[in-house]
Amino acid sequence: MFAVFDINNYHQLCDLLAEQDPDLAGILNQYGYPPFWSRPNTFESLVHIILEQQVSLASALAALNKLKVKIGEINPESFLLLTDEELKACYFSRQKSIYVRDLAQKIVNGALSLNALASLPDHEIRLQLKNVKGIGDWTVDIYLSFILHHCDIFPIGDLAVVNAIKSLKKLPKDTKKEDLLAFSKVWKPYRTLAVMMLWHFYLEERKVKI
């Protein structure tokens, strides 16, 4: 059975990791606990993650907000009514329009159920979501971490996480992803919590530099 975390055990699990890893303890000592980042298990949330692929968080949020102004509640049925030009006016690229349309269509025709995903193990969720055009491992990792709160997810495709580990552990810039994945095993079975701490470290360090 897969393990999940929630707001009630979030700090406890962060403390557990900090006891095992002095560098993670240093993050807590310097910057406190990471925010409890969480999103509901909805079509809108998954659209938001797709919009965040390979762009800034601010750009993705701007597109999501523009879409909200256009259609109100973001649901698959309303999204499928939009034309290419309407989506372009909402800052959707051609590719992301294709991706979200495919997601919406699969939900509408019953090929995908977000509610059903919540009770499935990681590998099954990954298989189902990756059947949607444009959804790869990074998108699934973020979905599992932010929305379903599975405990042992490590998004090796996330640049912020990769850079945070290299900085925190003083690793060479050319450290391979395979080596980072091997390194992350010391945080099992709570790698998601370690990732939350790494994101927190990354964001706070950028504030300091700015």
Phi, psi of 4 (to 5 degrees): -125, 160
Domain ranges for the chain, please list them: 10-37+153-209, 43-147
Go through the chain and tell me how many residues it has. Answer: 210
Q: Nearest 10 degrees: CA dihedral of 99, 101, 102, 107?
A: 130
Where is 84: in which H helix or E strand? Answer: helix 84-89
The answer to whether the CB of 182 falls within 8 A of the CB of 8 is no
pLDDT in tens for each of the 210 residues of the chain?
Answer: 579 999 999 999 999 999 999 999 999 999 999 999 999 999 999 999 999 999 988 999 999 999 999 999 999 999 999 999 999 999 999 999 999 999 999 999 999 999 999 999 999 999 999 999 999 999 999 999 999 999 999 999 999 999 999 999 999 999 999 999 988 999 999 999 999 999 999 999 988 654
Closest listed residue to residue 5, CA positions, set 203, 197, 208, 193? 193
CATH classification code of 10-37+153-209: 1.10.1670.40
Q: Nearest 10 degrees: CA dihedral of 134, 135, 137, 143?
A: 150
Nearest-Å Rg of the Cα atoms of the chain is 18
Q: What is the third-level CATH fold of 43-147?
A: Endonuclease III; domain 1 (1.10.340)
Question: What does DSSP assign to residue 187?
Answer: G
Tell me the whole-structure pTM to 2 decimals: 0.94
Question: What does DSSP assign to residue 52?
Answer: T
Question: What does DSSP assign to residue 95?
Answer: H
